[in-house]
Amino acid sequence: MIKEKLEQIRKDAEAALADAGVNVEALRIKYLGKKGELTAVLRGMGNLTPEERPVIGQLANKVRAEIEQMLQKKKEEAEAAAFGVSPDFDYSLPGVAPRSGGLHPITQMCYDLNDAFRSMGFEIFGGPEITSEYYAFDNLNFPPNHPARESMDTYWIEGHDTGSASDKLCLRPHLTGDSVRYMQTHKPPYRFVYPGRVYRNETTDSHHERAFFQYEALVVDKEFTFTAGKVMIKSILSKVFGKDVPVRMRAGFFPFVEPGFEIDMGCQICGGKGCSVCKHVGWIEIMPGGTPHPNVLRAAGLDPDEYTGFYVNVGLDRLVMMRYGIDDVRLFHSTDLKFLKQFC
């Protein structure tokens, strides 16, 4: 009787497992669990004769083992079948790319430099893009008839293009005017950067744009020799190029600095040996810089005998072009996503 029951449980389990899906846990409980059928049968063993007991006991163990084996087999089959993936699954299909927006490559460079300068304790500052002639030129020691003031170089605003330097308004042709604004409204010593867009009325080609992005930094303090400026420059370049870059400062003239420098870096294309990019001299002109002209410090309300400092002015467009090998500056303002998405 009990023997038949055990046999029946085995058969039922076999049938149930054949029909079962992936999850066989319920069946395990049904047949082998504490309240399961097999356990229930074994509880009835007390009614058996001592002779029957080992025989039935043996049989019960065999049935349990068989069911467990069936369960295990089913589990393995289920695991192997996974999520219905075909054995021919093409693992070489392209991955589904994550969504890809991005910052403009110039913004990225600007942020890289912001991070570098922040780490050196510089503040970030921004001024107005429409400026008076006073801040664009007069404060910066540009003589009254400097060619850059003329319309061929500067975008003057209609209805604001005559009168005194305070009355005349233009799109800022450079950032340097903002340095005076900052100094007028803060207390020395100064250590700040002021990145931004500037505009020049030029004929455009692959290396000339009407709108471009500059990055200026200025330190003003009581004790500051122009040779410390080299440290600032090296900081910028090592950030941009990820390694130490040779730098030289040579004589250069800009109205707002004295002494003024043209700052060259070792050509990254040929490593300084000379190539077409660096016109075979091994150096590339990357930024002007120098000690603020006494008249500029005066415009900012400082005594030039007491304070001195160092400017650098980087054309970010040019640095970004070098970073990626971009050959046409006009692409930056093209709004062409085929270009911009390359820098995500």
Partner 1 sequence: MKLSLNWIKDFVDLPAELDLKRLAYDLTMSTVEVEGMEELARRYDGIIVGVIGEVLPHPNADKLRICRVDIGGETKDIVCGGSNLEGGMKVVVATPGAFVRWHGEGEPVEIKNAKLRGVESFGMICASVEVGMDGLFPAAEEHEIMDLSSLDVAAGTPLAEALGLDDYILEIDNKSMTNRPDLWGHYGIARELAALYDLPLKPIPAYVPETEVPFDIRILDTERCPRYIGSRIEGLCVKDAPFEMRSRLWKVGLRPINALVDVTNYVMLAVGQPTHVFDADMIKGHIEVRRAKDGETLGLLNDKELKLTPDDLVIADAEEAVALAGVMGGAKDSVLPDTKDVILEVANFDAKGVRRTAIRYDNRTESSARYEKAIDPERCDQALSLAMKIFKELYPNMKVTAFTDCYREHLERKEIDVPLEWLDRRLGMRIPKEIVERKLGTMGFEVTYTDDEMHVVVPTWRSTGDVGIKADIMEEVARMYGYDNFEATTITASFEGAINQLDEDLVRKVKEYLALRCDMQEIFTYPWMSEEFVKATLPSTDGVLALSTPPSPEEKYLRSSMIPNICRAIVKNEHNYDSFGIFEEAKVFLDRDYTSVYPNEELPRQERRLGFAVAGSPEKAEELFRQAKGIVGSMPRYTHQEPFTFERIEKPYWSDDAAWLNICLGGKKIGDLGLISRKAAQGCGIKVLTAALAEIDLDSLVPFRSRTNRYEHIPEFPENTFDISFLVDGSVKWDEMKSAILGKKTEGSLLKDVVFVDEYRGRQIPDGKKSVTVRLVIGSSEKTLTGAEIESVADSVMRKITHVMGAEVRSK
Q: Which of residues 55-114 bind partner 1 (CB under 8 A)?
A: 99-104, 106-107, 111, 114
Evaluated on CA atoms 204, 205, 206, 208, the torsion sign reads negative
Instruction: Confirm or reject binding of residue 261 to partner 1 (CB under 8 A).
Output: yes
Question: For 1, how many CA atoms within 13 A lie in the half-sphere containing its CB?
Answer: 6
Instruction: Confirm or reject binding of residue 226 to partner 1 (CB under 8 A).
Output: yes
Can you tell me which of 48, 156, 186, 298 binds partner 1, judged by CB under 8 A? 156
Could you tell me the smallest distance in angstroms from the CB atom of residue 241 to partner 1? 18
Tell me the C-alpha to C-alpha distance, in Å, between residue 76 and each of 24, 70, 107, 184. 11, 10, 54, 78
**Binders of partner 1 in range 312-341 (CB under 8 A):** 332-338, 340-341
Instruction: Confirm or reject binding of residue 161 to partner 1 (CB under 8 A).
Output: yes
Can you tell me which of 71, 194, 216, 260 binds partner 1, judged by CB under 8 A? 260
Question: For 189, how many CA atoms within 13 A lie in the half-sphere containing its CB?
Answer: 14
Q: Which is nearer to partner 1, 6 or 319 (CB)?
A: 319
Could you tell me the smallest distance in angstroms from the CB atom of residue 268 to partner 1? 19
Instruction: Confirm or reject binding of residue 232 to partner 1 (CB under 8 A).
Output: yes
Name every residue whose Cβ is closer than 8 Å to that of residue 292 and which is 6 or more positions away in sequence.
179, 218, 220, 256, 257, 308, 309, 310, 311
Stretch of residues binding partner 1 (CB under 8 A), selected from 20-28, 46-54, 75-83, 303-311: 303-311
Q: Which is nearer to partner 1, 31 or 122 (CB)?
A: 122
Burial of residue 252, with CB atoms counted within 10 A of its CB: 0-12 exposed, 13-18 middle, 19 or more buried: middle
- Whether 311 contacts 256, CB under 8 Å: yes
Instruction: Confirm or reject binding of residue 262 to partner 1 (CB under 8 A).
Output: yes
Between CA 244 and CA 238 the distance in angstroms is 5
Number of residues this chain uses to bind partner 1 (CB under 8 A)? 92
Q: Which is nearer to partner 1, 45 or 228 (CB)?
A: 228
Q: Which is nearer to partner 1, 57 or 259 (CB)?
A: 259
Query: Chain centroid to CA 11: how far?
Result: 65
Stretch of residues binding partner 1 (CB under 8 A), selected from 6-14, 18-26, 80-88, 166-174: 166-174
Rounded to 5 degrees, φ, ψ at 179 are: -65, -40
Name every residue whose Cβ is closer than 8 Å to that of residue 325 and which is 6 or more positions away in sequence.
none
Instruction: Confirm or reject binding of residue 238 to partner 1 (CB under 8 A).
Output: no
Instruction: Confirm or reject binding of residue 163 to partner 1 (CB under 8 A).
Output: no
Instruction: Confirm or reject binding of residue 259 to partner 1 (CB under 8 A).
Output: yes
Q: Which is nearer to partner 1, 156 or 241 (CB)?
A: 156
Q: Of all helices (H) and strands (E), which one includes residue 284?
A: strand 283-292
- The residue to which tokens 């604001």 are assigned: 160
